[in-house]
Amino acid sequence: MSDLNDKLVSGLKWGSVEKFSTYGVQFLLSIVMARLLTPADFGVVGMITIFLALSTIFIDSGFAVALIRKKDATDTDFSSVFYFNILLSLLFYGVLYLAAPAIASFYDTPILCRVTRILGLTVIISSLTIVQRARVTKEIRFNIHAKVTFTSAAISGTAGIAAAYAGFGPWAIVLQLMLASALTSALYWYFSSWRPSKLFSLRTIREMFSFSSKLLVATLLLVIYNNIYQLVIGKWFSMAQVGFFSKANSYANLPNDAIGRTINNVALPALARIGDNDAELLGYYRRLLRGTSCVLFPIMGAIVALAVPGVRLVLTEKWMPAAPLLQILATACVMAPIRMINQNVYHIKGRSDIYLKTEVINKLLITALLAATIPLGIQAICWGFLAVSYVQFFVNAHYNSRLVGYHLRRQLGDIGRPLLVTLVMTAAIFSLTLLIRHDLAAILAGGAVMLATSAWMLNREVRIRTLYAKFFHKA
């Protein structure tokens, strides 16, 4: 137990360093890029995001998670997955290269042909580090993740700003993404001592694919529907509107990517070690859920309340159409970290079939709402996304009650108080923005309220746990 606690604390510490430093740098650099470039420039790259993401998911094929959860993974396993990933990456880059003219024609944007063929190279580069990342994660060595991601983000972001300042337009973003991918790959190989052996086993690939195949299909659905909004907006609306949506979506997901995914990435390999002990797993699981709620709920509430002055101050008036989209998408993203923690249980229990089933249900709902909201405009599309995100929570909670006995009522009880406090806090911060007319002052005041709220909830959570521990110890 103590060993697991130590690994969780160490993993969370270095995972937090990685995410906060990396996303802090990326956030600051993206602000400068947004000021130098136009929404249409961001829209160009946003249009092909789905194609790059799909290729990357196919290459991974769920093998990274399979390697992490396999307790007795051998060098043959790692080497076989490594070579298989490279083979798939070459195949899918060929598909992207040949499909580039069709993609450009679909969007009626000729520049996308060259952009797709150049950015498609990141698919090959990324395939070289899938096993390296999996090994680092499996060993809970998140200090390596921190070094790699911070360094690549800082260097590539600086290069992107220089290119944007020089007038390269959307090519500045392409340069940034290419350089980030190359640096990430090079640094993982530098910091990791593992090298592939001259071993390959089709039997290993088949055995692991029996688990990862369902995970692959579910992840494909997730990626398609996470990016389908940009695909639809790019087809039916202007490039500038794609840029507004992309920027709002990236900022709405920033807290979850920086904090929620840190917790998720650390929790998966750590909790996989106690996956057979349902009582112990449920205890850690509930603490993760409550702690995550106390941190992330107030942040998302503050984003909703401060979206208008924040966009106006940070991105300037040309980005103001993104503000209402940011408010809606941030409200939708409140439940994203809770959903990820719920889905971790499927992986820990080896139930990729349930993960696939829940993703199919969720994506059918998204399809129906997307079809209904397209004629109504981008804001209506975002409202549909919000509705689906909350339905997803109830679907995941239902299946987790069957796996580990964490029933919906208990989940709602664990996150209900943080959610209620966050609603009150959001209303208070929004009232401050009406009273304080200066954007920077309003943001500083709202940020202070958010920090105080989160600190109070975390302190209360710790005190309650301490009281319970003392009570049961005496009993």
Contact present, 52 and 121 (Cβ < 8 Å): no
Handedness of CA 388, 393, 396, 401 (dihedral sign): negative
Nearest Cα to 80, choosing from 190, 185, 206? 206
b/e 78-103 (16+ beta carbons within 10 angstroms → b): bbbbbebbbebbeebbeebeebbeeb
Nearest Cα to 117, choosing from 102, 131, 137, 130? 102
Contact present, 225 and 366 (Cβ < 8 Å): yes
Per-residue pLDDT of the chain (475 residues; tens, 9 = 90+): 455 555 555 555 555 555 666 667 777 888 888 888 888 888 888 777 777 776 666 655 567 777 776 777 788 888 888 888 888 888 888 988 999 999 889 888 888 899 989 988 988 888 888 888 888 777 767 678 778 888 888 899 899 999 999 989 889 989 998 998 899 899 989 888 888 888 888 887 787 776 666 666 766 766 776 677 777 777 788 778 888 888 898 888 888 777 766 666 666 666 666 556 667 677 777 777 788 888 889 999 999 999 999 999 888 888 999 999 999 999 988 888 777 777 777 767 667 677 777 777 877 888 888 888 888 888 998 898 888 888 888 887 777 777 777 777 888 887 888 889 999 999 999 999 888 888 899 999 999 999 999 888 888 766 545 434 443 344 3
Alpha carbons 463 and 469: distance in angstroms, whole number: 10
Contact present, 281 and 8 (Cβ < 8 Å): no
pTM of the model: 0.68
Which residues, 6 or more positions from 304, have their beta carbon under 8 angstroms from its beta carbon?
Answer: 327, 330, 331, 426, 430
Cβ atoms within 10 Å, residue 394: 12
Cβ atoms within 10 Å, residue 268: 20
2-36 vs 142-165: helix axis angle to the nearest 10? Answer: 0
The predicted pLDDT at position 273 comes to 61
The predicted pLDDT at position 473 comes to 40
The predicted pLDDT at position 474 comes to 40
The predicted pLDDT at position 467 comes to 39
The predicted pLDDT at position 329 comes to 93
Alpha carbons 152 and 159: distance in angstroms, whole number: 11
Alpha carbons 294 and 359: distance in angstroms, whole number: 26
